[in-house]
Amino acid sequence: MESGGLPSDSFFQRGAGRFAPSPTGRMHLGNVFAALISWLSARRSGKRWILRIEDLDPQRSRMEYARLIEDDLHWLGLDWDEGGVDGIGERGPYCQSLRGPIYESVLERLRATGLTYGCVCSRADIMATQAPHQSDGRIIYGGRCRPATMPHHGPEPAGPHAVRLWVPDREIRFVDGVYGPQCVNLTSHCGDFVVRRADGAWAYQLAVVADDALMGVTEVVRGCDLLLSAAQQIYLYGLLGFDTPEFMHVPLICNAAGQRLSKRDSSLSMERLRETHGPGEIIGICAHLAGLIPEPAPCRPDELTGLFSPDVFAARKCLTIPSSL
Ligand SMILES: [Zn+2]
């Protein structure tokens, strides 16, 4: 039967995964691992794979790094259908720094709920209210600027202020593809959280939800350091009337000392790794770390799609690279 639709209709209906790096440096082995797992998860079910450049931080983001990330992904054989610096696709732009008007319209929708308010607290004001046992670095906003009654439709302060979103004192439940059932109360996890900073910069939480929803992302695969923040995003999806994607958080790659890899681990940056390894060797190392293959033998990403399942991680939070690397 003549559908009259474009061939892309079924392509879009299959959903999408995404890789969303910040172009603040060269990728390292941990970033490659996250990209590979996201790619495999999307490809094993025929989904599109989107490359989004998360360059919200103008001080640290560099377009040259975004180009290098693209070059490294091409070299590794991790091809994307949509996105990138040049913005292939119809749901762009795919660099967050170019999406300000989109975030503005999403913020207006949040304001219309009456659940946002202006906050003039300095960091010192907020730190002064933190309980001493909060040693994990999380900052919980105590509600100093919150209007006495919510929802609230009054004006925000005239001067510089952040915009915060009120959160309910109830548990948000979701099932993670790797770590299973989760339960987070946003009041005790983070308190009312910032959706736009006082300097006008967009908060990650607002941007990531706007982007994933409007780009048609149906599965979010990323490092397990972001596991609990999914609750903030699920709350935002609900307020904005967007369909919530599936979440799959994956273990972080740690060095031999058990620390999460960072840009400081320069020996594992793609710049160094490409001097001594071929693309198949690096994919093989990541596939072995994930438990997809018994030895770190060279392979191509497309040879691994049939082997991938979230079960391979057995809910581990950290995978340690061999000291020989
Ligand atoms: Zn405040």
| 186-215 residue pLDDT tens | 999 999 999 999 999 999 999 999 999 999
| 130-142 residue pLDDT tens | 876 566 778 899 9
Helix pair angle (230-240, 100-112), 10° resolution = 70
CB 230 within 8 Å of CB 173: no
pTM (predicted TM-score): 0.93
226 CA → ligand 1 middle, Å = 24
Helix-strand-coil percent breakdown of the chain, rounded to 5?
A: 35, 20, 45
H/E stretch holding 152:
none
Q: Which residues are within 5 Å of ligand 1 (an ion), measured at CB? A: 119, 121, 144-145
CATH no., domain 101-208? 3.40.50.620
Cα 180 to chain centroid distance, Å, stands at 18
| 32-83 residue pLDDT tens | 999 999 999 999 999 999 999 999 998 999 999 999 999 999 999 999 999 9
Same CATH fold assignment for domains 14-98+251-320 and 101-208: yes
Q: Give me the pLDDT at residue 167, please.
A: 98
- The mean of the pLDDT values for the chain is 92
CA distances from 91 to 51, 56, 102, 106, 239 (A): 12, 18, 11, 15, 22
Tokens of 281: 């060797």
Q: Give me the pLDDT at residue 1, please.
A: 34
Cα 68 to chain centroid distance, Å, stands at 19
CB 192 within 8 Å of CB 164: yes
155 CA → ligand 1 middle, Å = 15
Q: State the SS3 of 238-255.
A: HHHCCCCCEEEEECEEEC
The answer to whether residue 224 scores a pLDDT higher than 60 is yes
> What is the SS3 assignment for 36?
helix
Q: Give me the torsion for CA of 35, 226, 310, 253, rounded to 10°.
A: 60
The region that residue 302 occupies, defined by phi over 0 for left and psi between -120 and 50 for alpha, beta otherwise, is alpha
| 141-180 residue pLDDT tens | 999 999 999 999 999 999 999 999 999 999 999 999 999 9
124 CA → ligand 1 middle, Å = 11
146 CA → ligand 1 middle, Å = 7
| Contacts by 297-301, CB closer than 8 A, 24 or more apart | 300/77, 301/36, 301/39, 301/40, 301/43, 301/76, 301/77, 301/78
Residue 47 among the catalytic residues: no
Going from N- to C-terminal start, the domains of the chain cover: 14-98+251-320, 101-208
165 CA → ligand 1 middle, Å = 11
Q: How far is the C-alpha of 174 from the C-alpha of 236, rounded, in Å?
A: 14
Which residue, 12, 14, 18, 100, is CA-closest to 55? 100
- How would CATH label the architecture of 14-98+251-320? 3-Layer(aba) Sandwich (3.40)
CB 210 within 8 Å of CB 102: yes
Average pLDDT over residues 221-237: 97
Question: How is 153-197 classified by DSSP, letter by letter?
Answer: -SPPPSSS-EEEE---SSEEEEEETTTEEEEEEHHHHT-SEEEE-
Q: Which of 91, 263, 274, 277 is catalytic?
A: 263
CA distances from 139 to 47, 173, 179, 203 (A): 36, 21, 24, 15
Query: What band does 235 get if pLDDT is binned at 50, 70 and 90?
Result: very high
Amino acid at the residue 222: R
The answer to whether residue 252 scores a pLDDT higher than 90 is yes
198 CA → ligand 1 middle, Å = 11
Tokens of 8: 């892309």
Q: How far is the C-alpha of 227 from the C-alpha of 263, rounded, in Å?
A: 21
Q: Give me the pLDDT at residue 4, please.
A: 42
Residue 16 CB burial class (10 angstroms; 0-12, 13-18, ≥19): buried
